[in-house]
Structure 1
């Protein structure tokens, strides 16, 4: 493989008169950027916080339907009416024998008289949102790697998501409402991906995991703010919840446009050296770095950008066998995690527990999950952690199916344990994915994983509707799927403590991938499928990945 000229090279110091020959192995892009702007400083911290706030509005739009689409409680208009008091389904009663506890316009169900509609109709809006997320991720995911970049994609996604959410307040029926929820989900799909990738590409490898967790904390804040906003607006029209969450998001989009820097790593990979230098100078000056030892002008570049077309990043992932195998595994895990991550909060209405309190407890459970990831991400093995937390989530979810007085009391605790484990697995999986794929395809790979996560969310409303009378159809399926999908983590390489790669060739050189694009000689020792236990099979699958 021909030796490549680094994108950044350290200039000779003015004070030094040495004329040593240049080293054979020049600094990599990763180490050069760290030397330029530092491992972590105030400039990077402020950028990371500002970018991560996008997760707050992302969380609000993801779970807002828990309150706006909920079926309100009702009461009999005549307390002495025994026929009314003995019936739990209002569809079996005459219209004048019961009434809603809250104003009619407090929910779309009561406002549009959907209380007796089919489960497909009542769950249409939630499913449309996740279908929009799925399609949006497929259409928009590669734009952040190719045409628009991380910053512009984040700005466009936040702005369009907030505007479509704002237009929702003018809906008069379930069909227009579902269509706008689809549009909202379509543009929301890339927010988390762009925010996470942008923040992690602005700091050194030592702080990459911790900075990525900032976004998870912001997502928790957004999730936690929903029951508070809904409780303060109880009795108000359902549209007020969309109003209070969309207007701040519009102003935030403007802040992103004018105050967020583009990823210098992406700019350099795309061959936009002058913009990259300006960004690095700005961050370095904010960090008070000694930028005088760096010569930002006239730096030699030899850039070979592989992303020449709009969807070339996806094409590269599909053509490289090792990349496709990794992507398939993390997408499988993402599907299982998404089923529980989105399904548990959306299904809280099926539990005999206060809705506001249960949503608050679920949101609060994300805080220890993010703290655990933040404090231990530098010590946790990615592969083992994902495997452990997905299995734990699956076991707790299945245990929610059991009936009886004891299990009914423990049900909310088991639900929280399952959701906590899924959140932690989700956090680690995203960091894991960032470290497995190079810069040229990282955002696209992250988007594909999140699409698998959203695909799990598409099936949640249907499973939740089916599980209203039988928990096995919801919690049982959730547990089996996440536990089975979590086993795919055994097929992935461990990435803890390694530096980020920028090109596919660099990743292949690091892993010793053969020029024949991943052709492996499957000797008995390499495959190692032994009947003495499953763990040995997992170790053998990891050996195969280490070979290519």
Structure 2
């Protein structure tokens, strides 16, 4: 091996070191050690995309809500508050609010089958599912994290704006599908990009900051919907999409690409320039830091599914991805299912969703302050078990105890939300740079698939609590068992290639055996 000493310039600058770091992760650590503000501003800009993601994910809670109605004839023998609206003459009843407030009354879907009434929300999640497979690998291959974040967020918000002009439920569902397709990579790109530009010490907390933005986006919906409760459902899409489009433009012009991704793609000069902006280091120092790290072989393979091929051709990576997707499926059943179905518990739809959204803030605060101390496996398993038990208890508790039911529902959602945060950070640490975005997106696919199934099993007006909260609880508990098959990653450095990840884990295993 060549002596690294000749690589040193004659300068005695304090930026220089006697031996170049042995990994790109150590370069990030050194460059960003004393320059937190540029990293934090960049991470905040990127993480803000979660805000609009949260709005588009749960907006159908209000736009697709089942509106209330009242009898118009008094006294009468045919119309009663408990009557089936589909069995009544249209002259005997009327909506409590203007018909344009939700798509159900606007498109006359009050007697439609559950398949039709749930079509828009399901289309959105199916779009997320397809978009995750098609778009996710582009962040690891040709487009990069920043460009895909812009493309995804812009597509999601433009499709949302066009949704406001839908003329029927089919057109409406089609544009929801397009919005979901674009949305699929927003969270994964934002999470990976924001955590790849900061030091190991800040990585967990920066990741959680993105989830907090999602919570604020989620929390903004009840307020926007309440202010516009007598306005058209189309107004909600305009209010949420226009700011998102403006934000996408800011990302395109002001967000920086991940230096780790640039380096793995062989674009060393751009990586040096980005690190210089983030860490206030001169280019000669950065070139010195990077001189001991060879350009990665994976940078030569660039196509739509190259990163998925790399991810799945290794048995250990495939097993790890599959286990995380199953775990994510269980979390997604509760995380997406409960807010979308919480109106069925008979509570005020504005208050019930506000309580769910508010529960996310202490959840993220908890993870933010303790993620550095928690073991990933045990904490993830614990919160999944708590969520499952509380979800099942929602069924066990009598419907007469509505306050207790909503309390259990909030605790279950809180725990699922905490598990959501942990599994996303956990996934970042389990995979190297060359497949990290693809792996994160695959886990999000498991979460979305859980959301789709939660809508299917709880659809319809003949609402059955066991077919929602009971199943949610059983599934998340069963899926949580697979956490035991995954390795612990707390405090470990991020790797850049599959080979580096394998060598590191073999070395860690040997060290563990020797210590025992």
State the alpha-carbon separation in 2 of the partners of residues 482 and 318 from structure 1.
Answer: 25
Q: Does 1:507 align with 2:495?
A: no
Match for 1:491 among 485, 488, 494?
Answer: 485
Instruction: Give the alignment of 1:518-529 within 5 angstroms.
Output: none
Match of 1:309 among 296, 302, 306: 302
Q: Deviations over 1:188-213 (max 9, x none)?
A: 00000000000000101011001111
SS state at 1:95 partner = coil
**Which residue, out of 340, 348, 351, partners 2:342?**
348
Contact 1:5-1:302 at 8 Å conserved across structures: no
The match for 2:174 is 179
> Which of the numbers 116, 121, 125 marks the counterpart of 2:120?
125
Q: State the alpha-carbon separation in 2 of the partners of residues 473 and 10 from structure 1.
A: 66
Shift of 1:26: 4.4
Q: Contact (CA 8 Å) 1:39, 1:205: kept in 2 or not? A: no
Question: What is the aligned partner in structure 1 of residue 449 from structure 2?
Answer: 455
Are the structure 2 counterparts of residues 184 and 145 from structure 1 closer, same or farther at C-alpha, using a change threshold of 3 Å?
same
296-305 or 107-116, which deviates more: 296-305
- C-alpha distance in structure 2 between counterparts of 1:494 and 1:55, whole Å: 27
Change (3 A) 1:5 1:267: farther
The residue aligned with 2:48 is: 53
Determine the C-alpha separation between the residues in 2 that align with 1:279 and 1:167.
Answer: 36
CA displacement 1:404-453 (0-9 Å, x = unmatched): 26643310001001100000000000000000000000000000000011
Q: Which residue of 2 aligns with 1:434?
A: 428
- The residue number in structure 1 matching 2:12 is 15
Change (3 A) 1:461 1:16: closer
Checking the alignment, whether the CA contact within 8 Å between 2:276 and 2:286 is kept in structure 1 is no
Match of 1:229 among 224, 232, 247: 224
By how many angstroms is 1:292 displaced? 8.0
- Comparing 26-35 with 422-431, greater Cα deviation is found at 26-35
Asked if 1:444 is matched to 2:438, the reply is: yes
- The answer to whether the 8 Å contact 1:58/1:219 transfers is yes
Q: Find the residue that maps to 2:78 and give its secondary structure.
A: helix
Alignment CA distance shift 1:505-1:235 (3 Å): same
- The alpha carbon displacement at 1:305 in A equals 3.0
- Tell me which of 281, 284, 294 is aligned to 2:285: 294
Rounded to whole Å, the distance in 1 between the matches of 2:247 and 2:141 is 24
Cα distance in 2, alignment partners of residues 13 and 206 from structure 1? 32
Q: Work out the CA distance in 1 between the residues paired with 2:401 and 2:461.
A: 17
**Hey, what does 1:417 align to over in structure 2?**
411
Counterpart position of 1:536: none
Q: Name the counterpart of 2:375.
A: 381
Q: In structure 2, how many angstroms separate the alpha carbons of the residues matched to 1:395 and 1:492?
A: 23
Counterpart secondary structure, 1:99: strand
In structure 2, the CA distance between the partners of 1:336 and 1:172, relative to structure 1 (3 Å rule), is same
Q: CA deviation at 1:463?
A: 1.6
Q: Is the 8 A contact 1:210 1:374 kept in 2?
A: yes
Residue 231 (structure 1) shift: 0.4
Shift in Å, 1:280: 1.1
Question: Please, which runs of 5 or more residues in structure 2 have no aligned partner?
Answer: none
Shift of 1:281: 1.3
Q: Deviations over 1:165-193 (max 9, x none)?
A: 11011111000100000000001000000
Which of residues 83, 89, 98 is equivalent to 1:88? 83
Q: Distance in 1 between matches of 2:404 and 2:13?
A: 70
**Aligned counterpart, 1:203:** 198
Q: Is the Cα contact below 8 Å between 2:387 and 2:415 reproduced in 1?
A: yes
Instruction: State the partner residue of 1:402.
Output: 396
TM-score of the two chains, using structure 2 as the length reference: 0.93
Residue 214 of structure 1 is matched in structure 2 by: 209
Question: Aligned residue for 1:525?
Answer: none
Residue 249 of structure 1: CA displacement? 0.5
Secondary structure at 1:306 match in 2 = helix
Q: 2: CA distance between counterparts of 1:400 and 1:184?
A: 33
Q: Deviations over 1:198-241 (max 9, x none)?
A: 00001010110011111011000000000100000111011000
CA RMSD of aligned residues (A): 2.5
Q: CA deviation at 1:283?
A: 1.5
Partner of 1:42: 37
- Determine whether 1:264 maps to 2:259: yes
User: In 1, are the aligned partners of 2:104 and 2:117 still within 8 Å (CA)?
Assistant: yes
